[in-house]
Chains A and B, each alone.
Chain A
Amino acid sequence: MDGQGLNEPGVSETHAFPLLPYSYVVGQDALRRALEIAHVLPAVGGVLVSGERGTAKSTTVRAFARMMYGDLPVTLPINATDDRVLGGWQIDALMRGESRPQPGLLESANGRLLYIDEVNLLDDHVVNIILDVVSTGLLVVQRDGLDRPEVPVSFTLVGTMNPEEGGLRPQLLDRFGLLVPVRAELDLRVRRDILMTALRFDEERTRPDSAWLERGADLDRERREVIETARAAVADVRLTEDIASLCARIAAEFEVAGHRGEIVMAQATRARAALDGRSEIAPDDVRAVAPHAIMHRRPEAAYGEGIEWTDKDDERLGRLLAEG
């Protein structure tokens, strides 16, 4: 097999693949906040973005990764083969008669963000591989002549999906710390802003010295500093007993399966406070993150049904918060 065309991850990608700067993404506040929370405190787990077509889900995730890591996210396409997910051999080296191991996507994403677009379309065997690694934190590669018994890996799993094409298996659903439902913007002004921004980007991306894109990069740098500052400061945001109890009560009230929901909720409140430059968690933090931490962990959601947050749910949450 010819070895041409193999490109190393991260090589000149910033210029090869111009992306809309994160700071220019219009709307999608909940999604952006969730991605930031997951970065500030990786213990929150990943983010699952579920929403209608054409709502800039992928654009936002890629822009976020570019802003935080200076690069495209490590991306697992839905037709990836298991050798690329787990690890195998560099094919161009093999063609030269050399044997050079090539890390798989799970290892490449270590310490970073692993992005799966159309995550609900992944084949089951790849889902199983991911679940094995995410649940143990260890990658075991013993195949194709490779023998790497235990490689510790940790990454932030971010998936986007269009629920029209089916749901996720409950085991995988639970591995996403936060779920963000996104929907199309209906406000006319916002729609116009989206339109103008997207078309402006079409024009500017062809200009190597675009001042507009440079300004976007500056704004991204500023935002990244805020997020990294929050990441450094989050250790100082202590979870009080009151907030911990509140998270536990909310999880119990909503019959959340297992304890991951309340743990994610509590961690996310810490990250949200840190992003706002606070060292104390406020009930508002709980109100903001609770729906995203529990809506996909309720019993009916375990079967891919009823993953939604209704006005009634919001009233229940409000009552719990009022009771303190």
Chain B
Amino acid sequence: MRVGERVSTALACAALDPGLSGVLLFDLDPALAPSLARRLAELLAAPDQVVVVGATTSEDDLWTRVRPWPGGRAGFRGELGPLVGADRPPGVILVPDLARLGLAATRAAVTTIGADVAHLERTGWRLTWAPRDRWLATCRRDEIGRVSPHLLDRFAVRIDAAGLRPGPGNPLPEPPPSWRRAVRAGLLPGLSIGAADRVIELVPAVGAGARRDLALARIARALAALGGASVAEAAHVDEAARLVGLSTSAPEDLVPGPRATEIGPSTRAAPPIATEPAVREVGAPPAEPEALPTAALPAPGMSGDPYPEDRTEPEREAEPLRSPWRRGAAGGPPRGHPIGAQAAREVRDIALTATLLESAKFQTLRCPDHFRGSVAHPLHVRAADLRSHRRAPRPGHLLVLLLDHTCRRGWDWYGDLAPYLQWAYALRAAVGVIEVGAADAPDELCAQRFSARSLLDPRVREALDRPAGRATPLAHGLSLAVRSLRHDTQHGDAAVDEALLLVVTDGRGNVPLRASRTGQAPGRVGREGVQDALDVAAEIGRLHRVRSLVVDPGPRPYAHLTTDLAQALGGSVVSGGPGDD
């Protein structure tokens, strides 16, 4: 199937079945996104209903917004935002780059795509509706690791759109009239037992709960409907699998190693609630090229793997759907996440909806005939009505403390760390602690991470006193540090001003990153662990507003490793160790 035909079919499926309301196009030429969104909107019979959301879209842009009064009258009025789908036909929400979608839109996507019900409870508005908008997103395959799996999970239809080129005409073939009729009718054929069995056969048992099963079955059903069939059969499932790029040879064992243990005898264990999710989710295989034992490669002309996130290095920030914690610091422009409204003291950062709401209380007082006339007129807004956003305190400082317990060997490191801990306390810095090589680590091949609101969190002291284990997954610890630092220094408009990364280690990482991520102990301890650590450190070195220090534990063999690490981090080495006590 040619790429244009594939994309066109996928859009028709999405238009036909509200259960396929998330469409993700891999590697689409960005210039084509608007025309594809229009095509989908036309199929939905709402050609003008295309809304673009992106990195800077705010909650107010999406849910309640302010617009000029119609007819050229002076003033503004509030109205519901484009995501509120009550009392209107479904439209299209276009995400030009899913990897760069902002926090507000990401959270909106997670809570509305595929949901039975959506709720709006903002600034006086209370609405409940069944969301039926279709989300059309594009993302480069090599950036999929930056997207939250929770968000990706919402996109049921995944299509490889590489190769679709802009041209003078429409890049997609015109859909047959029968497709438009099928979409208008919206009738969904039944699914045969054979088709259901085929779905279960083709979709690996791990991944996203029942959602991948449902996605394949719904696409098969939509294809059956587009083809005029009254029942979706196994052949439709195969057709759907080929459309999205799933192999039609049944997977015998596509279960990544660590996940396989979950279905073993310890199934009673609950899924852990981790502060650092990716530490637990080690199912993603390594990024290095490696033979995939059983998954058949897609045939020429067939779409690529629809779930690349299963095999991609996670590059996303820690907890990408949460706004970072912030510490207070006076002055500067308001930057934090809006958490409410307050009487304005200055004319910047005005909360328009809240201002209009406030002024509405006094209309009768200010204009006795305001509500008596036959024609409504703009609100009478006075300075006293002005409300500004009450924002979370602007970001402050962050200390990321990477503790390699295996380098300690009787060293009382409190003295060497004290100046930095005092810095963190004095500035009320948030603290992220990454522990490497702790004796009681749940998995000795992995580092552990937690975030604390301040140095006073008792976990920080516990971490400083933890006994040492055997393995030193330094590279994994640094990879957790990258994600933590990226989250807190780059996330939206809530970045910290300064982050200090303090790495306390002798640099002798003996666990390669691949071992940490697959959960499989390396057969031979070589330089791979050290090199991985240096590679990850170089990533940290490229981050702005991050200062890195390596605290050296004193004279020992391979003492140059800490210098190498500091160089890679773009930081410096601080002498420490028992000799300095």
CA of A59 to CA of B126 in the docked complex: distance in angstroms?
21
B217 pairs with A195, CB closer than 8 A: yes
A295 contacts partner chain B, Cβ-Cβ < 8 Å: yes
A14 contacts partner chain B, Cβ-Cβ < 8 Å: no
A225 contacts partner chain B, Cβ-Cβ < 8 Å: no
Closest CB of chain A to B221's CB: distance in Å? 7
Question: Residues of A contacting B190 with CB < 8 Å?
Answer: 199-200, 203
Residues of chain B from 12 to 41 with CB closer than 8 A to chain A in the complex: 17, 19
B561 contacts partner chain A, Cβ-Cβ < 8 Å: no
Name the CB-closest residue of A to B110: A118
Report if A181-B205 is in contact (Cβ < 8 Å); known contacts: A94-B357, A123-B339. no
Question: Residues of A contacting B544 with CB < 8 Å?
Answer: none
B273 pairs with A50, CB closer than 8 A: yes
CA of A7 to CA of B122 in the docked complex: distance in angstroms?
13
The residue that B321 contacts in the complex, of A52, A91, A121, with Cβ under 8 A, is: A121
Residues of chain B from 368 to 389 with CB closer than 8 A to chain A in the complex: 370-371, 379
CA of A191 to CA of B216 in the docked complex: distance in angstroms?
13
A19 contacts partner chain B, Cβ-Cβ < 8 Å: yes
Name the CB-closest residue of B to A54: B209
Name the CB-closest residue of A to B270: A181
B450 pairs with A303, CB closer than 8 A: yes
B128 contacts partner chain A, Cβ-Cβ < 8 Å: yes
Closest CB of chain A to B562's CB: distance in Å? 29
Residues of chain A from 80 to 96 with CB closer than 8 A to chain B in the complex: 80-85, 88-91, 94-96
User: Which of A89, A105, A120, A191 neighbours the largest number of chain B CB atoms within 10 Å of its CB?
Assistant: A191
Residues of chain A from 52 to 93 with CB closer than 8 A to chain B in the complex: 52-56, 58-59, 62, 72, 75-85, 88-91
B120 contacts partner chain A, Cβ-Cβ < 8 Å: yes
Closest CB of chain B to A300's CB: distance in Å? 10
Closest CB of chain A to B265's CB: distance in Å? 7
Closest CB of chain B to A51's CB: distance in Å? 6
Question: Residues of B contacting A284 with CB < 8 Å?
Answer: none
B371 pairs with A96, CB closer than 8 A: yes
Residues of chain B from 274 to 329 with CB closer than 8 A to chain A in the complex: 274-275, 277, 281, 319-323, 325
Contact with A along B255-272 (1 / 0, CB 8 A): 000000011011111111
Binds A, one of B73-81, B158-166, B516-524, B546-554: B73-81
A191 pairs with B210, CB closer than 8 A: yes
Report if A164-B150 is in contact (Cβ < 8 Å); known contacts: A62-B117, A81-B121, A308-B269. yes
Question: Residues of B contacting A123 with CB < 8 Å?
Answer: 323, 337, 339
Residues of chain A from 97 to 121 with CB closer than 8 A to chain B in the complex: 97, 99, 102, 105, 117-118, 120-121
CA of A81 to CA of B459 in the docked complex: distance in angstroms?
32
Binds A, one of B168-176, B195-203, B505-513: B195-203
Please report whether the interface of chain B is mostly helix, strand, loop or mixed according to DSSP: mixed
Binds B, one of A133-141, A182-190, A237-245, A252-260: A182-190
CA of A16 to CA of B59 in the docked complex: distance in angstroms?
26
The residue that B272 contacts in the complex, of A19, A80, A308, with Cβ under 8 A, is: A308
Closest CB of chain A to B381's CB: distance in Å? 11
The residue that B115 contacts in the complex, of A58, A186, A306, with Cβ under 8 A, is: A58
Question: Residues of B contacting A82 with CB < 8 Å?
Answer: 339-340
Closest CB of chain A to B279's CB: distance in Å? 10
Residues of chain A from 262 to 306 with CB closer than 8 A to chain B in the complex: 291, 295-296, 301, 303-306
B150 pairs with A89, CB closer than 8 A: no
CA of A202 to CA of B341 in the docked complex: distance in angstroms?
41
A117 pairs with B111, CB closer than 8 A: yes
A192 pairs with B196, CB closer than 8 A: yes
A236 contacts partner chain B, Cβ-Cβ < 8 Å: no
B148 contacts partner chain A, Cβ-Cβ < 8 Å: yes
B361 pairs with A145, CB closer than 8 A: yes
Question: Residues of A contacting B210 with CB < 8 Å?
Answer: 54-56, 184-185, 191, 194-195, 198
A121 pairs with B322, CB closer than 8 A: yes
Question: Residues of A contacting B361 with CB < 8 Å?
Answer: 89, 94, 99, 145
A13 contacts partner chain B, Cβ-Cβ < 8 Å: yes
A102 pairs with B127, CB closer than 8 A: no
B420 contacts partner chain A, Cβ-Cβ < 8 Å: no
Contact with B along A133-168 (1 / 0, CB 8 A): 000000000000100000000000000011111111
CA of A213 to CA of B255 in the docked complex: distance in angstroms?
36
A195 pairs with B78, CB closer than 8 A: no
Closest CB of chain B to A198's CB: distance in Å? 6
A53 pairs with B149, CB closer than 8 A: yes
Contact with A along B103-130 (1 / 0, CB 8 A): 0100110110001111111111111101
B59 pairs with A79, CB closer than 8 A: yes
The residue that B86 contacts in the complex, of A5, A18, A77, A90, with Cβ under 8 A, is: A5
B480 contacts partner chain A, Cβ-Cβ < 8 Å: no
B135 contacts partner chain A, Cβ-Cβ < 8 Å: no
Name the CB-closest residue of A to B201: A188
B277 pairs with A81, CB closer than 8 A: no
B116 pairs with A19, CB closer than 8 A: yes
A322 contacts partner chain B, Cβ-Cβ < 8 Å: no
Name the CB-closest residue of B to A304: B275
B111 pairs with A78, CB closer than 8 A: yes
Closest CB of chain B to A57's CB: distance in Å? 9
Q: Other than the known A75-B117, A123-B339, what 15 A-B pairs have Cβ atoms closer than 8 Å?
A: A1-B79, A2-B78, A7-B126, A72-B117, A76-B121, A81-B122, A81-B340, A85-B121, A91-B360, A102-B124, A123-B337, A165-B148, A166-B321, A206-B186, A305-B273
- A-B complex: 9 closest residue pairs judged by Cβ atoms: A54-B209, A181-B270, A1-B78, A91-B124, A54-B211, A84-B121, A307-B273, A80-B121, A184-B209
Interface CB pairs A-B, < 8 A, 29: A2-B79, A5-B86, A6-B126, A6-B127, A17-B128, A50-B273, A53-B211, A62-B117, A76-B119, A79-B63, A79-B104, A79-B108, A96-B371, A118-B107, A118-B321, A165-B319, A166-B319, A167-B275, A183-B267, A194-B210, A196-B196, A202-B19, A206-B188, A304-B273, A304-B275, A309-B269, A310-B268, A311-B265, A311-B269
